[in-house]
Amino acid sequence: MYREMMSGKIHRATVTEANLHYIGSITIDSDLLKAVGMLENEKVHVVNNNNGARLETYIIAGAPGSKTICLNGAAARHVQPGDKVIIMSYKWMEEAEAYKHVPTVAILNDHNDILDILGTEPEATIK
């Protein structure tokens, strides 16, 4: 049996741009992608902490060091610059592997700098 497990998470990223006229996706600073093991064109879930919107899209790698978090195309209708979002990727794995799996979670500050890298999040974590 296979399980779909969270593999990477960018927690409380600040949206820097919403570009309605771009052809779909989310642009993410490639340094942030590396830190959590996400890849360009990978499917991600995006959750907006400000309005509760949830969406699926795919990643476009942004310039390293740019701190870019830009929702593009139709996804831009669900965010405003300054909104806080959570971006999550998932992987399928054998059940035995799933029990040992530890995701990579990057906690960001208001400027999209990484404050901390966690594995499994303890219950009731507030950061």
Does the annotation mark 58 as catalytic? yes
CA Rg value for the chain: 14
Q: CA 4 to CA 106: how far, in whole Å?
A: 20
Instruction: Give the angle subtended at the CA of 88 by the CAs of 121 and 82, to the nearest 5°.
Output: 100
Burial class (CB within 10 angstroms; exposed 0-12, middle 13-18, buried 19+) of 25? buried
Does the annotation mark 22 as catalytic? no
Structure tokens at 124: 């009731």
Catalytic residue among 2, 7, 22, 25: 25
Catalytic residue among 58, 66, 90, 99: 58
What positions carry a catalytic annotation?
25, 58
